[in-house]
Copies of this chain bind each other. A is one copy, B any other.
Amino acid sequence: MPKIIVEVSARHCHLSQKDLDKLFGKGYKLTIMKKISQPGQFSAQEEIKIVGSKGEMKLRIVGPIRDKTQVELPVTDCYRFLGIEPVLRVSGDIKGTPGALLVGPKGKVEIKEGVIVAQRHLHVSDKEAKDLGVKNGDLVSVKIGGVRGLTFDKVIVRSGEGHKKSFQIDTDEGNACGWRPGTYGELIV
C-alpha cells in the first residue's frame, strides 16, 4: 500500500482581505513566518484571538488571503475552551456553520459563519492522484501503525493545482493515533 506522510493541523484560520483589513488595518499584508507543506501557503507571524461563548484562544493565521474567512478547530477546543458547536465540514464548505468573534490589534470582526472542524483529507497533485488511483472528492482510508494504531475512514481526496501529497488530520486525531513528526500512513483505496 502506498505510504503517505501524515501532518497535524493545529487550530488556525484563513482570512479574507476584508476581514484582514478590519483586524490589522486597511491594506494590511501578512508576514510569512514559515512555509507549510501545501504549495504557496504559509503560517503568518500575525496572530488573532477567537472568542466563543465560553472563552477565548489565540489563533494562528494561515496565508495567503482567501475569498472567505474560515476558522479550523479541533473538537477539544470547541467544547472545552470556546463553547462553539463542532461542525465537521470539508474546507471551503462553510454555509450554515457557526460564527465567532475574531479580535485583532486594530479591530474586531463578528463572522456569521465559517467555524469548522475540518474533515480529514488527503492533498494530492493531479499527477499524484493519477499515480495513486484516486480523484478529487473520493473517500479513502489511511491506516496508521504503532502502539495507538488505527485506520481513518472518510478521508476526502483534494486534488488539483496547489495540492501536494499529504494526509492532514487535526490535533485530536493526531493524539488519538499516537502521531509524531515523521509518521506515515498507508493509503487504502
Contact = CB atoms under 8 A, between A and B. Distances in A.
Contacts of A86: 175
A14 to B, nearest CB: 22
Given A74-B175, A76-B76, A172-B176, A150 B152 contact: yes
B148 A151 contact: no
Nearest to A146: B154
20 contacts: A74-B175, A75-B175, A76-B76, A76-B171, A76-B172, A76-B175, A79-B175, A88-B147, A88-B178, A119-B148, A120-B148, A148-B154, A149-B153, A150-B151, A150-B152, A151-B153, A169-B176, A172-B176, A173-B176, A175-B176
Interface of A: 74-76, 79, 86, 88, 119-120, 147-154, 169, 171-173, 175-178
The oligomer's copy count stands at: 2
A123 B116 CA distance: 34
Contacts of A177: 176
Contacts of A149: 153-154
Contacts of A173: 176
Which 6 residue pairs spanning A and B have beta carbons closest together? A176-B176, A75-B175, A172-B175, A149-B153, A173-B176, A151-B151
Nearest to A147: B88
